[in-house]
Amino acid sequence: MIKETGAEYVSAECSACRMQLSDAMHGQKVDVVFKNPIELIAKALREG
């Protein structure tokens, strides 16, 4: 499902959610970067 969205990043604050999503993406061979929401906010602020 994530693969079909064309998303560059997947994000979740919860460590358990991150682990479950990462495992699911690995199992489905989804090549998407997983980032913490704070990382995405910092990137958006840097890029303006």
Q: What is the pLDDT of residues 22-38, one digit of tens each?
A: 898 889 888 888 899 99
Quote the pLDDT of residue 20.
93
pLDDT band at 48 (very low <50, low <70, confident <90, very high): confident
Phi, psi at 4, each rounded to 5°: -70, -20
Judge if pTM exceeds 0.85.
Answer: no
Q: Which region, left, alpha or beta, applies to residue 29 given φ > 0 means left and ψ of -120 to 50 means alpha?
A: left
Instruction: Output the pLDDT for position 1.
Output: 79
Task: Please check the confidence at residue 3 and state whether its pLDDT lies above 90.
Answer: no
DSSP result, 1-48: -HHHHT-SEEE-S-HHHHHHHHHHHHHTT---EEE-HHHHHHHHHHH-
